[in-house]
């Protein structure tokens, strides 16, 4: 499904990275680069300690192989065990992220924006909900523990949601906060525009 989407997109709008002479590079880059990006997105969704716009994509490093093995070994294990729920959630996550694959693998783009993964998070939190349901049904003690963990998570997400709103509650705040954590000429341009609109020289 995903390779078909990428080829169809190339046919409709064109994309240099997906030309016939670049298909091998595109496939290799996707297989190697995507796992680390997926795990970083998952981590930011589960633990949103520091969200900001124009987040730089991770570079290749020694840990790239670990992310590669973790993602594809997990999918292979789900296939071998015929775990339909896990496969459904994984496919939902990747299919929802697929429209951004051309940008994520493009050599001309260095960003992985947080809002690109919002549709994917349905699969993530559905999986957590199913896990909670399974754990809470294993006994009275497990049910109490699961309820306590759920309550703590709700408090955590409410706190982080309010904190992120306070830090990024306007376009001006978004770009100022961004430039505290990353280097982005687009964010600099957008921040300058916000100051210009405010009449601040």
CA–CA gap between residue 179 and residue 188 (Å, rounded) = 7
Domain edge (last residue) among 114, 141, 157:
114
Confidence of residue 5 (pLDDT cuts 50, 70, 90): low
Q: Residue 147 has what pLDDT?
A: 84
- Clarify whether residues 179 and 103 are in a common domain: no
User: Has residue 18 been placed in a domain?
Assistant: yes
Which of 11, 36, 187, 46 shows the shortest CA–CA distance to 105?
36
Query: pLDDT tens, 29-45?
Result: 677 778 888 898 998 88
User: Has residue 66 been placed in a domain?
Assistant: yes
- Clarify whether residues 107 and 172 are in a common domain: no
Q: Are 143 and 137 in contact (CB under 8 A)?
A: yes
User: Has residue 51 been placed in a domain?
Assistant: no
User: Per-residue pLDDT averaged across 19-32, rounded?
Assistant: 63
Domain edge (last residue) among 91, 114, 137:
114
- Clarify whether residues 105 and 178 are in a common domain: no
Residue 2 is encoded by which pair of tokens? Answer: 């995903």
Query: pLDDT tens, 115-172?
Result: 888 899 999 999 988 888 887 777 777 788 888 888 998 899 899 888 888 877 788 8
Q: Residue 123 has what pLDDT?
A: 92
- Clarify whether residues 100 and 193 are in a common domain: no
Q: Are 81 and 89 in contact (CB under 8 A)?
A: no
Which of 153, 171, 134, 123 shows the shortest CA–CA distance to 47?
153
Q: Residue 122 has what pLDDT?
A: 92
User: Has residue 136 been placed in a domain?
Assistant: no
With 0.85 as the threshold, say if the pTM is over it: no
User: Has residue 4 been placed in a domain?
Assistant: yes
Greater model confidence, 199 or 19: 199
- Clarify whether residues 7 and 79 are in a common domain: yes
Total Cβ atoms within 10 A of residue 174: 20
For residue 196, pLDDT over 50 is answered with yes
Full domain range(s) for residue 178: 168-201
Q: Into how many domains does the chain fold?
A: 2
User: Has residue 151 been placed in a domain?
Assistant: no
- Clarify whether residues 79 and 177 are in a common domain: no
- Clarify whether residues 15 and 105 are in a common domain: yes
Q: Residue 155 has what pLDDT?
A: 92
User: Has residue 194 been placed in a domain?
Assistant: yes
User: Has residue 173 been placed in a domain?
Assistant: yes
Query: pLDDT tens, 57-107?
Result: 777 777 888 888 888 888 888 888 888 898 999 999 988 988 888 777 776
- Clarify whether residues 94 and 190 are in a common domain: no
Rounded to 5 degrees, φ, ψ at 57 are -70, 150
* Mean pLDDT over each residue of the chain, to the nearest integer: 80
Burial of 39 per CB tally in 10 Å (0-12, 13-18, 19+): middle
Total Cβ atoms within 10 A of residue 28: 11
For residue 50, pLDDT over 50 is answered with yes
């Amino acid at each position: 499904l995903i390779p078909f989407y990428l080829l169809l997109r190339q046919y409709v709008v064109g994309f240099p990275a997906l030309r016939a002479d670049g298909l091998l590079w595109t496939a290799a880059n996707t297989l190697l680069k995507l796992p680390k990006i997926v795990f970083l997105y998952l981590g930011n969704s589960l633990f949103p300690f520091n969200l900001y716009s124009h987040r730089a994509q991770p570079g290749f490093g020694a840990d790239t192989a670990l992310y590669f093995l973790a993602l594809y070994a997990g999918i292979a294990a789900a296939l071998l065990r015929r775990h339909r729920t896990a496969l459904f959630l994984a496919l939902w996550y990747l299919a929802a992220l697929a429209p951004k694959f051309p940008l994520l693998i493009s050599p001309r783009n260095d960003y992985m924006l947080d809002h690109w993964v919002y549709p994917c998070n349905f699969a993530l939190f559905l999986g957590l909900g199913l896990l909670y349901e399974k754990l809470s049904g294993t006994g009275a003690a497990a049910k109490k523990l699961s309820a306590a963990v759920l309550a703590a998570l709700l408090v955590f997400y409410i706190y982080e949601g309010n904190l992120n709103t306070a830090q990024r509650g306007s376009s001006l705040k978004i770009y100022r906060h961004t430039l505290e954590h990353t280097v982005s000429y687009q964010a600099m341009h957008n921040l300058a525009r916000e100051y210009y609109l405010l009449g601040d020289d």
